[in-house]
A and B are shown apart, each in its own frame.
Chain A
Amino acid sequence: MDVIVIGSGAGGGASAWALSQQGINVLVLEAGPAYDPYKDYHLHQPDWELERFPDKQEHPLKYSFGEMQPLEKRYDRLRTWNHIRGLTNRSDTRIPYKYHHVQGVGGSTLHFTGEAHRLHPKAFQMRSQYGVAADWPLSYEDLENDYAKAERVVGVSGEDKFSQRPRSTDFPLPPHPASYASQKIIAHSHNTDLKWDFNSLATLSAPYEGRPGCNYCNNCGRGCPRKDKGSVDVTFLHKARLTGHCQIQSNSTVLRIISGDNDRVEGVEYIDKTGATHLVKAKVVIVACGAIETPRLLLLSDTGDGEQGLANESGLVGQNFMETLSWVSAGLHPENLGSYRGLPTDIISWSYNAPDAISNAIGGCRFAVGTSESDLAGPVNYAKRVVAGWGLAHKQKMRETFGHVLSVGSIGESLPNPNSFIALDESNKDRFGRSIAKISSFLNEGEISRLKFMANKCREVLNATGVTEIFEEYGSYDFFNSTHVFGTARMGNDPAESVVNPYCQSHRWKNLFIVDSSVFPSSGGGEAPSLTIEALAIRTARYIRQYLNS
């Protein structure tokens, strides 16, 4: 085998495609199962709303949490609440809720909403320009061409007017027209200082390469049964398979990476679905398991000279963990907007996306409609969370209310701090007897200030649009609740301050590469990371080809 890729999400899938189309033989090992969009997703069934993504994994990913920080009275306006249920977290400590992750062929893109973002160019220089996090050892311009390639593979629909992000090519497809509910936000935008754009999305606004256009069911997070959402399984991995050089093995968990002589790794040990253990050797190993599982696997592997923790010469594997800083406010609009229709995040505001855009906190954020992401796109959640009471009055109120919810969400920059990191939890093991990952998370004053700004803006947008009463709000202040995670195998030029070099190559282990959001030196101001991961993977694959040829 030329290359083993561990993990089949955005990084693993794009690596497999970029390498296999060059004739390089790739084996992709995925711990989770494969999903058949036509059979495994349930959006055509009456009880579609009872389940989010239909996880069919027998042994879901396990992780634990370190001690969480105390909550303070002065930030009570940042607590999660619902008008029926009251405060969701009644304790005085932040609650570790969930790391939203899908283990399966396609990884977390199986449940993503399809946002396909390029990072703001200024986000690459957080240390030199703003004195926080670390600089990326490459620039936006270095990635631009690979961003465009990734957009073409996925089939991104978008609008060519983001002056903040210079483009060499048009988007492959035109943007999706805004839903009726989103049009209301745009129509009232003059009441706020936010400017709204059509979001760039990996959902097809027109048929593309044999896949149909989107039919606006508004439930990308439950798995797209039409294949119009550009998850990695139906784009990169599908194309990789067609080359004849890519083999994808699901339900195969890598136990460790095997180190060898001369600062090279030899291959991996993995266990398949029958329980049989295998050793596979390869010229190159790529780790692409996400910013929690990647450091775990590295820390579980040894260097062969008595040291535990592969590629951890700097001691930074697992450090600099960054999470999803998010806020959502939901209210009722006086008009029946039919807000359960459309796309989950069809419009977006980048007005505060630049790292220096918010006056009292370094780091940017973005705003988008969030009705579907809040899971308020069906009658069950209306009945439970939106309409209070029960009985005849409840039924009547449901009729008056259904379709009226308008929700606005924000995702903000998360900056690294010494109290946020991933380590091995020696007292908790997985089914193979290996320590699971332990997530330690801490929000410092900067994060909380940014969150406060995000929350106030979300409320402002809703009010400006005509929403008089907000009925539910939730955010990262009192719950750890992350979809995007970053930074635990940082990229950089200096081996003492980073884990991999600008080509995602371990500073010491020359044939070991890390291609996922672990390598991000900074998180960006709310951009979804998948497109950046894919662009990095394509760039790294080019470098790997040179490495193999040499």
Chain B
Amino acid sequence: MANTFSRRRFIGSLLYLTALLFSGILLFRSYRSYRAGLDFSTLIARSRARWRYDDPLDATELRCLQQYIDVLAPDDDSPGALKVGVDQRIIAKSSDDPDYRQTLRQGILRINPLAQNKFGCPFHQLTADQVHEIILISEQAKRYSSERLLFDRLREDTFSYYYVAPESWQSLCYQGPPQPVGFSGYQQPLESCDQS
């Protein structure tokens, strides 16, 4: 009888301690999220994102990507990234590579509350100047934070796909690709675009 009572008490205490520990973890994570500026809906969205690993990016996520890419390499005297199809290449890459897609998704989930906190609307509704500010924050974020990973990936890929487009070469005076013509004037200085 005494043994049964002890076992009950032991199991009860174990359950109590487990519940206490679980609550502690929840509290700590909520505090950490609060410090990081994440609201409840973002936390839910982040949890859901884990379950959406195999899903393609949705329309809002794609819009966010395009906003971001457009500011990384915008139109000026030469066409910007969207005009040469950089977004389409990045979207295609995200379709083929679920880890890459997840990096983009997690980053977008992070910049949305940043936009909300700073400008009172989600990222995809920001103006170009406002997007610029959010990208600046992402660039300066901690090295492995979601928003920094998003920045690093998109900077790398936007420039990769933008500067393989011959439209982007004109303003650099670059007359590539290297073949089939080569660079016969290689011994001479570059005086004008015609000689490059």
Question: Does B24 belong to the interface (CB within 8 Å)?
Answer: no
Cα–Cα, bound, A52→B179 (Å): 15
Chain B: minimal CB distance from A493 (Å): 48
- Whether B189 contacts A390 by the Cβ 8 Å rule is no
Chain B residues within an 8 Å CB radius of A49: 163-164
Task: List residues of chain A with CB within 8 A of the CB of B163.
Answer: 49, 378-380, 382-383
Q: List 12 A-B contacts (CB under 8 A).
A: A46-B164, A48-B179, A215-B184, A217-B183, A218-B186, A338-B196, A340-B183, A342-B186, A342-B187, A383-B159, A391-B73, A394-B73
Asked whether A180 lies within 8 Å of B189 as measured between CB atoms, the reply is yes
* Min CB–CB distance B122 → chain A (angstroms): 21
Q: Say yes or no: B174 contacts A402, CB within 8 Å.
A: yes
Are A180 and B186 in touch, CB under 8 angstroms?
yes
User: Which partner residue on chain A sits nearest B164 by CB separation?
Assistant: A47
Residue of B nearest to A86 (CB): B143
Establish whether residues A180 and B187, one from each chain, have CB atoms under 8 Å apart when the complex forms. Answer: yes
Q: Is the CB of A379 within 8 A of B168?
A: yes
Query: With a CB–CB cut-off of 8 A, which chain A residues contact B3?
Result: none
**A342-B187, A390-B135, A391-B72 given; 9 more Cβ-contact pairs under 8 Å:** A48-B164, A183-B187, A225-B179, A226-B179, A338-B186, A340-B176, A391-B73, A395-B78, A402-B173
Assess whether B132 is interfacial by the CB under 8 Å rule.
Answer: yes
**With A335-B189, A390-B155, A392-B76: A44-B183 Cβ-Cβ less than 8 Å:** no
Contacts of A384 in B (CB 8 A): 155-156, 159-160
Residues of A within 8 A of B169 (CB): 379
Interface 0/1 of B171-184, CB less than 8 Å to A: 11110111111111
- Rounded to whole Å, the gap between the CB of B162 and the closest CB of chain A is 7
Closest residue of chain A to B154, judged by CB?
Answer: A390
Taking CB atoms, residues of chain B closer than 8 Å to A378 are 163, 176, 178
B121 touches A (CB below 8 Å): no
Task: Answer yes or no: A71 CB below 8 A from chain B CBs.
Answer: no
A357 contacts the other chain (Cβ, under 8 Å)?
no
Q: Which residues of B contact A179 (CB under 8 A)?
A: 186-187
**Shortest CB distance B164–A (Å):** 4
Complex: A378 Cα to B163 Cα, angstroms: 9
Closest Cβ neighbor of B181 among chain A residues: A215
Given contacts A43-B177, A392-B76, A395-B73, contact A215 B172 (CB under 8 A): no
Size category of the binding interface on chain A? 35 or more
A59 at the interface (CB under 8 A from B): no
5 A-B pairs closest in CB distance: A215-B182, A217-B178, A341-B183, A341-B186, A383-B159
Does B188 make an interface contact (CB < 8 A)?
Answer: yes
Q: Is the CB of B72 within 8 A of A177?
A: no
Most A-side CB within 10 Å, residue of B132, B139, B177: B177
B71 close to A (CB within 8 Å):
yes
A471 contacts partner chain B, Cβ-Cβ < 8 Å? no
Instruction: Give Cα A378 to B174, complex, Å.
Output: 9
Cβ-neighbour of A380 out of B71, B164, B178 (below 8 A)? B164
**A399-B172 in contact (CB<8A):** yes
A169-207 with Cβ < 8 A to chain B: 177-180, 183
Closest to A183 in B: B187
Q: Are B162 and A403 in contact (CB under 8 A)?
A: no
Measured CB to CB, the nearest residue on chain A to B139 is: A390
Given A391-B74, A392-B74, decide whether A398 and B172 contact each other with a Cβ distance below 8 A: yes
A172 to B48 CA separation, bound complex (whole angstroms): 68
Q: Answer yes or no: A320 CB below 8 A from chain B CBs.
A: no
Which residues of A have CB within 8 Å of B74?
391-392, 395
Q: Are A219 and B178 in contact (CB under 8 A)?
A: yes
The interface residues of chain A lying within 8 Å CB-to-CB of B19 are: none
Judged by a CB distance under 8 angstroms, whether A81 is at the interface is no
- Using CB atoms, name the residue of chain A closest to B190: A338
Report the separation of the CA atoms of residues A270 and B2 in the bound assembly, to the nearest whole angstrom: 74
CA distance A377 to B174 in the complex (A): 11
B120 interface hit (Cβ, 8 Å): no
Docked Cα-Cα span, A215 to B184, in Å, equals: 6
Q: Mark A386-420, 1 if CB is under 8 A from B, else 0.
A: 00001110111011001100000000000000000
Would you list which residues of chain A between 495 and 548 have a CB under 8 Å from chain B? none
Cβ contacts A202-222/B at 8 Å (1 or 0 each):
000000000000111111000
A-side contacts of B73, CB under 8 Å: 390-391, 394-395
Q: Say yes or no for B12: interface residue by CB 8 A criterion.
A: no
With a CB–CB cut-off of 8 A, which chain B residues contact A392? 74, 76
Interface flags for A332-373 (1: CB within 8 Å of B; 0: not) read: 000111101110000000000000000000000000000000
* Docked-complex contact A395 and B190, CB < 8 angstroms: no
In the complex, which residues of chain B have a beta carbon less than 8 angstroms from the beta carbon of A402?
172-174
Cβ < 8 Å to B, chain A residues 44-67:
44-50
**Chain B, range 128-179, C-beta contacts under 8 Å to A:** 132, 135, 139, 155-156, 158-160, 162-166, 168-169, 171-174, 176-179
Q: Which residues of A contact B132 (CB under 8 A)?
A: 391
CB distance from A406 to the nearest CB of B (A): 14
B23 to chain A, nearest CB (A): 36
B residues less than 8 Å from A394 (CB atoms): 72-73
CA distance A331 to B107 in the complex (A): 33
- The answer on a CB contact under 8 Å between B178 and A336 is no
Q: Which of B172, B182, B187, B196 contacts A178 (CB 8 A)?
A: B187
